[in-house]
Amino acid sequence: MSVGEVAVLGVGMHPWGKWGRNFVEYGVVAARAALADAEVDWRDIQFVAGGETVRNGYPGYVAGATFAQALGWQGAPVVSAYAACASGATALNAARAQILAGLCDVALVVGADTTPKGFLAPNAGERGDDPDWLRFRLLGATNPTYFGLYARRRMEQYGATPDHFAKVKVKNARHGLNNPYARFRKEVTIEDVNASPMVSDPLRLLEICATSDGAAALVICSLDYARSRGVSNPVRIAAVSTVTPTYPNTVIEMPNFATDSAFGVPEPERSFRDSIAYAAYEQAGIGPEDVNLAEVYDLSTSLELDWYENIGLCAPGEAEQLLDAGVTTLGGRVPVNVSGGLASFGEAVPAQAIQQVCEITWQLRGQAEGRQVEGARVGLTVNQGLFGHGSCVIAKR
């Protein structure tokens, strides 16, 4: 299914870290930076989409309105989107739909978060019908537990080694050195990674993303509006995929701790994670061979290797070969996570998918100083939100 394109007129971020302030402050900084980059006055924005942060009370649940109020009420319609780690892309998709439907010309998309110390956990209360609450109560299954199980699965299936996982961290830490918005800007060695404390066997502390505060924002618009502002060759959003799994989902996906049986039922043509990028490729009318760089959701180092295969950079079981050959390193054929990824940023849930789009926008503009992918013309972002939310964005120039 082919759909129309929208332009990315402005991008902005608040640095990631542990600042301990209200998430709204971060979102306002990012929004104002995106508006300044777009050279669009806030009063001219016709639609606002906010990524929700459900840990931050009622203002987080109505993030679109919260950001609009903080910037100054000016009458624009708002929407708030929650899809866990895919919240930012879902908010972007809502704003894109308004533009493509002709209901507005220019929109602001904002995601921001303030995270607790330690692991992300479900909201308080006794909720026996909530699978996210149940995985903690019955299994003690924090997110790193899940990451460790996936890493062990990769070792058993494809022969991945702890050094492969460590190499991903080394690569992303090197990429993040020159990103002024990254929280962790320190080069590490394989020895440093392997000497860090074990968290969820086989993954060590430096191989699992932190929780962070941060924010990112986009100003998107119709191609006609971009031209009216004198921008004749903008970065264009060619696809946004927000697919869900199909039955039977044969791989356990958090927060579930059981899976549909494929006994007597044919397996789907593609796994859930394979289908996320596939749907975006179909929208954009391109294939993985056209991608010049990718930002993938490296919640852990082993999950980055899985994503290489899910987005079609290689066949199942070949991700380690790509990594070893330097294909996904800056200077390689398809650099992955040149922003530094979550390894360098940490996780600010509703902002993360937007941050990924900011990075590929800077790359396609040639503005990613110190980490620029030469000649980049097509960028892809991908992540997966809790409870069956896919997220993939393809941008072109």
pLDDT at 275: 96
pLDDT at 259: 64
Give the distance, in angstroms, between the CA of residue 188 and the centroid of all CA atoms in the same chain: 23
Give the distance, in angstroms, between the CA of residue 342 and the centroid of all CA atoms in the same chain: 9
Residues 139 and 111 in one domain: no
Residues 224 and 294 in one domain: no
Residues 217 and 248 in one domain: no
What helix, strand, coil percent values describe the chain, rounded to 5? 40, 20, 40
pLDDT digits (tens, 9 = 90+) for 101-117: 999 999 999 999 999 88
**228, part of any domain:** yes
Give the contacts of 332 (CB within 8 A, at least 6 positions apart): 325, 326
Is residue 158 packed enough to be buried (19+ CB in 10 Å), middle (13-18) or exposed (0-12)?
middle
**376, part of any domain:** yes
pLDDT at 252: 74
Residues 230 and 245 in one domain: no
**83, part of any domain:** yes
Residues 345 and 376 in one domain: yes
Residues 166 and 308 in one domain: yes
Return d(Cα 139, Cα 82) in angstroms, integer: 25
Q: Which domain holds residue 92?
A: 6-118+213-234
pLDDT at 280: 98
Total structural domains in the chain?
Answer: 2
Residues 75 and 175 in one domain: no
The CATH number given to whatever domain includes residue 360 is 3.40.47.10
Residues 221 and 279 in one domain: no
Ranges under pLDDT 70 in the chain? 1-2, 259-261
Residues 48 and 142 in one domain: no
Task: Report the 10 Å Cβ neighbour count for 198.
Answer: 12
Residues 225 and 261 in one domain: no
CA quadruple 347, 154, 323, 291: dihedral, nearest 10: -70
pLDDT at 2: 67
**123, part of any domain:** no
**217, part of any domain:** yes
**Cα separations (Å) of 146 from 88, 112, 181, 303, 386?**
23, 25, 28, 10, 12
Q: Are strands 198-200 and 106-113 parallel, antiparallel or unpaired?
A: unpaired
pLDDT at 135: 86
Contact 142, 119 (CB under 8 A): yes
Name the token pair of 236: 């264009």
Residues 170 and 200 in one domain: yes
pLDDT digits (tens, 9 = 90+) for 335-381: 999 999 999 999 999 999 999 999 999 999 999 999 999 999 999 99
**1, part of any domain:** no
Q: Report the SS3 class of residue 206.
A: helix
Residues 242 and 170 in one domain: yes
**161, part of any domain:** yes
**124, part of any domain:** no
CA quadruple 112, 391, 5, 103: dihedral, nearest 10: -60
